[in-house]
Structure 1
Amino acid sequence: MNKFYLKLLLFLTAFSSTAFAQQGIIRGTVYDEGSGETLIGVTVLAKGTNYGAITDFDGKFEIKAPVGTYDIQFSFISFETIVISGVEVTADKPVIFNNIRMKEAISELGEVVVTAEAVRNSEAIVAITKKKAINLLDGMSAASFSKIGDSDASEAVKRITGVSVEGGKYVYVRGLGDRYTKTTLNNVDIPGLDPDRNSLQMDIFPTNLIDNMMVYKTAIAELSADFTGGVVNIETKDLPDEKILDVSLSVSYNPNMHFNRDFIMGNTGSTDFLGFDDGTRALPDQARQERIPSPINRNSGQEIYNFLKQFDPTLGATQQTSFMDYSLSFTSANQYDIWGSHKLGYIFSASYKSNTVFYDDVIYGEYQRYVDPNNTNLRYATIQNGVKAERNVLGGILAGLAYKTDMSKFKFTALHLQNGINTAGQFYIDNDGEAIGQSGYKAYSNNLEYNQRGLTNFLLNGEHHLGDGKWDIDWRVSPTFSNIQDPDVRKTAFTYSNTDTTFSAGAGGNPSRIWRELEEVNWVAKFDITRNSQAFGRDAKYKFGSSYIYKERDYEILSYDLQFFGAQPDFGIDPNAVWQDQYLYPNGTIYLNSGNNTPNPNAYNSNSKNYGVYVSTELNPTAKLKAVLGLRGEKFIQRHTGRDVEYANLGSGNNLENEVVIDDFDLFPSVNLVYAVNDDQNVRLSYSKTIARPSFKELSFAQIIDPLTNRIFNGGLFQYSDWDGQLGVTRINNFDLRWEIFFPGTEILSVSAFYKTFDDPIELVRIPEQQTSTEYQPRNVGDGRVLGGEVEFKKDLSFLTPALSNFYIGTNVTVVNSEITMTDREYNARLQYEKNGENVKNTRNMAGQAPFIINTSIGYENFDNGLDAGLFYNVKGSTLYIVGGGLFPDVYTEPFNSLNFNLNKTFGKERNMSFNFSISNILNDQREEVYRGYQADDQPFTFFSPGRSFGLGLKYSF
């Protein structure tokens, strides 16, 4: 009996010493180097102890062990055993290994021993993913983001082959325009803050929330068919491997823009810094009436005066001093063990950006050809020169929960983005009366605009692994709600001569005020089922699934212009003197006139439904050949409620009441063949059929004026003598060939070729009939072809000398030849203005397709001292932007030579502090769009200088 109590005492003593000893955590992910997929069931053990774990369906493991130093062993049947030596476990922070790659054993070998530092970087996993992917893709990992020091996704994605970024936020793939690039979040469609673009604003995602970014360049059946250049997918983190508590601050200074006393602003509100209006710009309720208070409608003087006093009297910008750009972000994330082996993780991030832009050299030009066939010059119709200022704030909140069981994982995320842009412009306008359709005048214009955008997205995702890993099920439901408002857009243009200034409806126009509002809802539901099986004696997968996407948009424009019930007062040239009490009716002669008919031709409702279903199979007919065959079907229906101006004014014309404008069912086959020449070399061949559909705005009767430039967008349903108003979809055939070789680490060399055919591509066309105003319309323009090639390589410079082993050079180049066979109407219009010596052909370049893209970098990266620095260059070739023809020349976007420097340095034993320094636009290049004609000097369509910026950033991880 005494022996029993002694044994019990020894057991309790040992248990208590273990229970209360300080413990640490080792976490990681194990991959099959042969397939690139995670390995399930790998035994992970601290050698010489009983501390161990088995990898789950994500290939992840977790070991809890007392503080100390261990050798960690990874073993799996028919795979080489790996031992990581000298793993130091502390109680402060988990040890993370996200780059465990196991090889199949060829012969009886001993243990493969590596050091702990060799497997901490997960960047190589992206290289494996690219190598073993079933379709052609490129991408970046979270490790790359932290190493390069990019703060948001828009900066990081530029490093990916064939990718360019427009306006600092929108991604184009292979030089194709926005229409042919799609952006998804966690593999689900999500509209951006600009609903007329396929691309999501990439600068809204801080890189510390991103697990990886992948660009799919060839189609597979699982992907929606509405892309051609590529799909950019942003995958956010769900269960963080370690606790994250990050705070970051960055500032940027541009000598041309910041602390500038000539900066202008107007039309401000008390909540602008939060990205939304405080209500001072709201449209008065009476303004929505069919007959607003005015002397024309026989209202009393007091009623009219009270109505006018509800409007903000500010019509002009005033000078103030601009501030520099800055951004703040906070991120917190962690995971916990609950109910035994189950895990619960959370992630929360809040970010805020404020950018100030000031251009003092802006030019907006409208040019024409001369009728004389001997005169090849271009003549101006209107030129605007002046200044433009902008304050842009963007706030974002992302919150997410992830729950993981032994065989399932659930994820819920909520995202809200709020963006506010306050714009002011002052321009001198010169209109040439001798140009066709022009009256001839000079004017001085003040423009005040405010744009607020809100986007809220939810995602609920479930992932299940059933039948001992034979069945995988993934389902996702994601609603997105968008609201965009342009409240009280104001334009005040004084027409002037040598003797006086005035408002003239036939010239600069009377002062105008516009309210625009858009509401959109986007529902996505999809599920994917995978059956893991065998075929040809090798692993095979059979997949099938379905998706449903519903979108609905309500859009409305309400416009008003100032009128005089009597003589026009003398305001001088001060816009802020106009809306004063002494000039408002009945004290003066000013009243408002409504430009809104009932029904409103500039209001519409559109909705679309996309039902998708697919089947695919992934086979390995031989040891070296992988074949992925898929077929996707999509039933797409789009409806529209709206009417044209003729119907609104006269009751005749076109009026649609929830009528079908697209009703198509298409089959989209895809074939991807991957031949593994050896373990590190592939040859890929693929074919797919995809589609591009017009947006809600494009397939409408809307007429949307940009008050700053006076340019007008016309929906594609409008009919003209050379256009039937039947805007249709574009169907594309895609062929791709790629050879790629992977070197140790992340070095790569690849060469690709691609060919695409376009049936009825949609392009933005200058409307020939509209000669007195500048108007554009989306139209199907003919058949198109694109032939291109890509080259990518990344190599460290150790081959020159070992002293340069930390330096690398990377380049990816895309070269494209595009061709559109014109419609007869476009070809004949060009022939009418053919110049002597010119030979007009019935082919031209494709709009939106860049002839080349160059991304190159030279850098230094040293994991040991935490220093990374690089010089990055990006340029896109001159690209047709707007299709002209006849009187109007084509418009091209000129190359912008973007040369940027970035340096990132980490500090501290745990490297929990980082410092970033950057220089943007080192070459001080200019943004320019130009008119281009035969043997004519290029003339400005849009011109401004962004200047050079210097940035500093500091990040601290608690």
Structure 2
Amino acid sequence: MLISFLSIVAYAQTGKISGVISDKKTGETLIGVTVKIKGTTKGVSTDVDGRYSLQAMASGKYTLEFSYVGYQTKEISDVEVKAPAVTSLNVILNEANGQNLQEVVVRASFKQESINSLYASQKNSAVISDGVSSDQIKKSPDRNTSDVLKRVSGATIQDNKFVVIRGLGDRYNTATLDGSSLPSTEPNRKAFSFDIVPSNLVDNLIVSKTATPDLPADFTGGAIQISTKDIPDKNFISFGVGTGYNTASTFKDFKSGARNATDYFGFDNGDRALPSNFPSRLKIANGITTEQGIAAMKSLSRDWNIYNNTALPTQNYQFTIGRVKEFKNENKLGALFSLTYRNSQTINNDVIRDYVNFDYHDNIYRFSTNLGALANFAYSFGKNKITFKNIYNRAYDDSYLERNGFNSDRGRDIKFYAFDLLQKSLFKSTIEGNHAIGESSSKINWSLSYANILNDQPDQKKISYQRNPQDAGTDQYRYVASTGTLSKENSRLFSKLNEDNYSGGVNYTLPLKMFGQISTFKAGVSSIYRDRTFDARFVGFKANTSAPNADEISTRPISRLYALDAINSGAYTLDDISADGDSYNAHSLTNAGYLMLDNKFGEKSRLVWGLRVEQFNVVLDSKVPSPQTSVDDNYVDFLPSANYTYSLTPKINLRASYYRTLARPEFRELASAAIYDYELLALQQGNPNLKEAKIDNADIRFEFYPQAGQIISISGFYKKFHNAIESFNSDGGSSRIITFINSDKVDVYGVELEFRKSLDFILNTDFMKKTTFYTNLSLIKSKVETNNTGLNLKDTNRPLVGQAPYIINAGLQHSFLEDKLNFNVLYNRVGRKLNVAGGVLFPAIWEAPRNVVDLQLALKVIKNRGEIKFNANDILNNRITQYYDNDLDKKYDIARGDETISSYKPGVNFSLAFSYNF
């Protein structure tokens, strides 16, 4: 017993050496490389991912030997182990040349090899791309994936979660998680909320700006590929806790509708759901009795009270546990579990909406809870690996809006109230296998994935009151509820979206000899099936003006407007104004196959080329189908691509590429469902005639790596869109409907500059060596040509909707106290961009540029096991403004006649967090 205990203690006091071994030229990981501790018999082989792990290493310095058939043997000295920590050492191997292969031994130190491997990972991408590794994430104070993406060249984060790449809107990006496509987390747009993935569980993140045949084709700006960790290097438990303060919200008066304890856990208690026995739309249309109508109205929630509280500070909690079991035969079993929780209460004060007939001022109060869970399992055995990865996220946003102002079209003072709850959830589960076959290091990769998306909007309540200013000084000068007619502006909306996604794919990789060099052949097939149901009911209480107490009821405050006595007295009748196309069923099937070759020509040239073929079918039917609301489209697309790299020197690459990609309309963009957006003061409606967009792309890039982890690059790109998908103000009927259109031809061209370098070139001191300046600048020009004059498009020569003319990201990073204290300051500015194209009556909607400055401090404490992080976000607190540029001077200036769609200050966010690893 004592011997067993002592052996456990001794094992706990040992460390590990682990890493990944890859080919220097291609970056491909190598399977079956022999790793030995020189002077001993102890050794292991790399698994199907090219990973190795040397266990039970006593503290000290070692020399490691790496050998592989067809490659030069490499010895790495001065590899230091500090028990019980894990020493990370990634290694690159050179292909052997000549006849005396076994006599070539390359020698390097631990520090040299660490730098070499970082160089290789930067240079060896087959495409023009940018990425962030887990090691870089560890050194940053980033909390989630959206924070990590802020550091990627040409990427900008909107609303702290949506990504914009190369100035193109989020609908022109695609995202994959652990090798399978991520569905949109938003009901009305193609976008993924990247703040749901904790940064400490990200193994690596790559943004590909050009395409290869093995990537999904539905992107133009970038393909964001996130890989989460599976088998941890060691057992650990970590927890984090944080709090935040917003200058516009925290400790301010906070108004809301009814609040339940379950709201804090991200779930409504069910009181707001439409009762299961509520009369159907058809039954109401055919006529119901007075008693049935009263019973139905009484079955709905009648709590219209406005509750006053104090906005509490933001709360963040995170718990993660990792476990790994290593067997004597080098097999490994690993598991990771993570739980995250966030609650925030924010206020957008005095949101100005001053345009056309409106002069409104809004206060918006939003109570938000976000829950996240991740469970990853992996088993590595021999040259095989099976992973099972699961992620769940739930977002609960309960909003209350209070509006005051004047409507000049009606000649009335307005008071408007809206209570709105949106519950969103995403569940995704993926099982994946990687298998090495034979002695040639060929590989088969397969995956099966299921995802479910739920968007539930129970009982969105809206009501407007009006008052005639001309009645001032009389008994008639009072606000009267607008209940005489029912419209989507003052009805109660019950909507529910459910979507199931099924996907699978198989990829085969074969190394082979071509042109005297090791090349790689890759082929694969995949399928994605999506099935969505969307139900929407617009119901409401219509005033019975002949009721004896109708006048008294219409002037009641909102808390008593729909009181039980009013319903029982017959002051209201039940009405349902749902339209034929407001609910729909939709499904789509995407089948894809590709062939790809990665060829090397001599020591300096590399060409990755091939063809991807995608077949896409989309079917959409409203619940009351008609030719105007139905969609059944089929496409077959041949998508060639070629990426050429020439290594001018070991530190300089020249790149050129051509590729064809797609942009497909989302279900919501095709559905004729018309939903009133009370913040936009417009209907949002899809277009069943919308077609797929095709984009031809060309890129060139010069990249120079002065030192490991540093880069200077300049890129140029051109994109030609056919049938670009854009949103516009359709206003032929004098009311504004935001819908979608295909623009015939769009040209986009731009230049990107990236610079990341330590400042020791200015002054060669230790302080300057530890200070890094980084910036990326994108200058983009776009031009739209369209002949769709029949759709009331006003601007026939304008920028692409969502395209920013420039993006500036800059930052300064410094490490103090032997990397225990890290300082970051980040700056971002995005040029003014077109959000919605103009119609005949309503002009184009522009978003004004704003300056964003973020400050981050991270201090490691308690023997580097703990970390304290301080963030100050959006320090300048510039206004977020959308407007009509009536004088066409490309500036927001209300003195010159511009009109304000929306303008407010979000407030400065300060947060403090503590995390600890056991």
Q: Please give the TM-score of this superposition, normalised by the length of structure 1.
A: 0.88
Contact 2:31 2:383 in 1 (8 A): no
Q: Which position in structure 1 is the counterpart of 2:368? A: 392
Q: Which position in structure 2 is the counterpart of 1:270? A: 261
Q: In the alignment, is residue 949 of structure 1 matched against residue 912 of structure 2?
A: no
| Gap change, CA 1:153 and 1:513, over 3 Å in 2 | same
Distance in 2 between residues matched to 1:83 and 1:224, nearest whole Å:
39
Q: Which position in structure 1 is the counterpart of 2:55? A: 64
Q: Which position in structure 2 is the counterpart of 1:515? A: 494
Q: CA deviation at 1:19?
A: 9.8
| Gap change, CA 1:298 and 1:477, over 3 Å in 2 | closer
Q: CA deviation at 1:253?
A: 0.4
Contact 2:44 2:330 in 1 (8 A): no
Q: In the alignment, is residue 593 of structure 1 matched against residue 579 of structure 2?
A: no
SS of corresponding position for 1:889 = coil
| Gap change, CA 1:523 and 1:312, over 3 Å in 2 | same
SS of corresponding position for 1:809 = strand
Task: Return 450-459 or 335-344, whichever deviates more.
Answer: 335-344
Q: Which position in structure 2 is the counterpart of 1:462? A: 433
Distance in 2 between residues matched to 1:446 and 1:829, nearest whole Å:
33
SS of corresponding position for 1:570 = helix
Distance in 2 between residues matched to 1:467 and 1:331, nearest whole Å:
38
Q: CA deviation at 1:128?
A: 2.7
**What are the Cα deviations for residues 769-818 of structure 1, in whole angstroms up to 9, with x where unaligned?**
131x3211101122100010101011111122213211110001111010
Q: Which position in structure 2 is the counterpart of 1:474? A: 445
Q: Which position in structure 2 is the counterpart of 1:526? A: 505
Q: CA deviation at 1:18?
A: 8.7
Q: CA deviation at 1:475?
A: 0.6
Distance in 1 between residues matched to 2:422 and 2:332, nearest whole Å:
43
SS of corresponding position for 2:78 = strand
Q: CA deviation at 1:114?
A: 3.0
Q: Which runs of 5+ in 2 are unaligned?
A: 889-895
Q: How does 1:767-786 map to 2 (within 5 A)?
A: 767-771=730-734, 773-786=735-748
Q: Which position in structure 2 is the counterpart of 1:833? A: none
Q: CA deviation at 1:199?
A: 2.9
Q: Which position in structure 1 is the counterpart of 2:224? A: 232
Distance in 2 between residues matched to 1:225 and 1:16, nearest whole Å:
56
Q: Which position in structure 1 is the counterpart of 2:708? A: 745
Q: In the alignment, is residue 576 of structure 1 matched against residue 539 of structure 2?
A: no
Q: Which position in structure 2 is the counterpart of 1:654? A: 627
SS of corresponding position for 1:575 = coil
Alignment partner of 1:188 out of 180, 193, 196: 180
Q: How does 1:757-772 map to 2 (within 5 A)?
A: 757-771=720-734
Number of residue pairs the alignment of both structures matches: 887
Contact 1:27 1:241 in 2 (8 A): no
Alignment partner of 2:540 out of 526, 551, 561: 561
Q: Which position in structure 2 is the counterpart of 1:247? A: 239
Q: CA deviation at 1:584?
A: 1.2
Q: How does 1:126-165 map to 2 (within 5 A)?
A: 127-165=119-157
Q: CA deviation at 1:334?
A: 2.1
Q: CA deviation at 1:154?
A: 0.6
Alignment partner of 2:886 out of 933, 941, 944: 933
Contact 1:317 1:446 in 2 (8 A): no
Q: CA deviation at 1:343?
A: 0.8
Alignment partner of 1:28 out of 15, 18, 26: 18
Q: How does 1:48-447 map to 2 (within 5 A)?
A: 48-65=39-56, 67-76=58-67, 79=72, 81-85=74-78, 87-90=80-83, 93-102=84-93, 112=107, 114=109, 127-261=119-253, 263-290=254-281, 297=287, 299-301=289-291, 303-338=292-327, 340-365=329-354, 367=355, 380-433=356-409, 439-447=410-418
Q: CA deviation at 1:300?
A: 4.8
Q: In the alignment, is residue 855 of structure 1 matched against residue 809 of structure 2?
A: yes
Distance in 1 between residues matched to 2:97 and 2:649, nearest whole Å:
15
Q: In the alignment, is residue 450 of structure 1 matched against residue 421 of structure 2?
A: yes
| Identity rate, percent | 27
SS of corresponding position for 1:308 = helix
Q: Which position in structure 1 is the counterpart of 2:892? A: none
Q: CA deviation at 1:35?
A: 3.4
Contact 1:482 1:521 in 2 (8 A): yes
Distance in 2 between residues matched to 1:247 and 1:21, nearest whole Å:
27
Q: How does 1:600-639 map to 2 (within 5 A)?
A: 600-639=580-619
Contact 1:493 1:508 in 2 (8 A): no
Q: How does 1:821-860 map to 2 (within 5 A)?
A: 821-823=785-787, 825=789, 830=794, 842-860=796-814
Residue identity in the other structure for 2:782 = S
| Gap change, CA 1:389 and 1:427, over 3 Å in 2 | same
| Gap change, CA 1:441 and 1:533, over 3 Å in 2 | same
Q: CA deviation at 1:562?
A: 1.6
CA RMSD of aligned residues (A): 2.7
Q: Which position in structure 1 is the counterpart of 2:893? A: none
| Gap change, CA 1:714 and 1:511, over 3 Å in 2 | closer
SS of corresponding position for 2:747 = strand
Residue identity in the other structure for 1:813 = L
Contact 1:530 1:544 in 2 (8 A): yes
Q: CA deviation at 1:87?
A: 2.3
Contact 2:659 2:697 in 1 (8 A): yes
Distance in 2 between residues matched to 1:422 and 1:19, nearest whole Å:
52
Contact 2:806 2:830 in 1 (8 A): yes
Residue identity in the other structure for 1:349 = S
Contact 1:569 1:583 in 2 (8 A): no
Distance in 2 between residues matched to 1:798 and 1:677, nearest whole Å:
25
Q: CA deviation at 1:130?
A: 3.2
Distance in 2 between residues matched to 1:809 and 1:16, nearest whole Å:
51
Distance in 2 between residues matched to 1:687 and 1:863, nearest whole Å:
47
Q: Which runs of 5+ in 1 are unaligned?
A: 1-13, 368-379, 434-438, 648-652, 718-725, 831-840
Q: In the alignment, is residue 731 of structure 1 matched against residue 694 of structure 2?
A: yes
Contact 1:384 1:427 in 2 (8 A): yes
Contact 1:625 1:673 in 2 (8 A): yes
Distance in 2 between residues matched to 1:226 and 1:495, nearest whole Å:
47
Q: Which position in structure 2 is the counterpart of 1:674? A: 645
| Gap change, CA 1:845 and 1:48, over 3 Å in 2 | same
Distance in 2 between residues matched to 1:274 and 1:20, nearest whole Å:
41
Q: CA deviation at 1:60?
A: 2.1
Contact 2:167 2:807 in 1 (8 A): yes
Q: In the alignment, is residue 809 of structure 1 matched against residue 800 of structure 2?
A: no
Q: Which position in structure 1 is the counterpart of 2:479? A: 501
Task: Return 817-826 or 679-688, whichever deviates more.
Answer: 817-826
Q: Please give the TM-score of this superposition, normalised by the length of structure 2.
A: 0.92
Residue identity in the other structure for 1:578 = L
Contact 1:315 1:491 in 2 (8 A): no
Distance in 1 between residues matched to 2:78 and 2:456, nearest whole Å:
59
Q: In the alignment, is residue 875 of structure 1 matched against residue 829 of structure 2?
A: yes
Contact 2:72 2:106 in 1 (8 A): no
Contact 1:826 1:885 in 2 (8 A): no
Contact 2:38 2:65 in 1 (8 A): no
Residue identity in the other structure for 2:871 = S
Q: CA deviation at 1:527?
A: 1.0
Q: CA deviation at 1:660?
A: 4.9
Q: CA deviation at 1:628?
A: 1.2
Q: CA deviation at 1:135?
A: 1.1
Residue identity in the other structure for 1:140 = V
Q: How does 1:693-708 map to 2 (within 5 A)?
A: 693-708=664-679
**What are the Cα deviations for residues 864-898 of structure 1, in whole angstroms up to 9, with x where unaligned?**
24111111011111001101132221111111211
Contact 1:495 1:507 in 2 (8 A): no
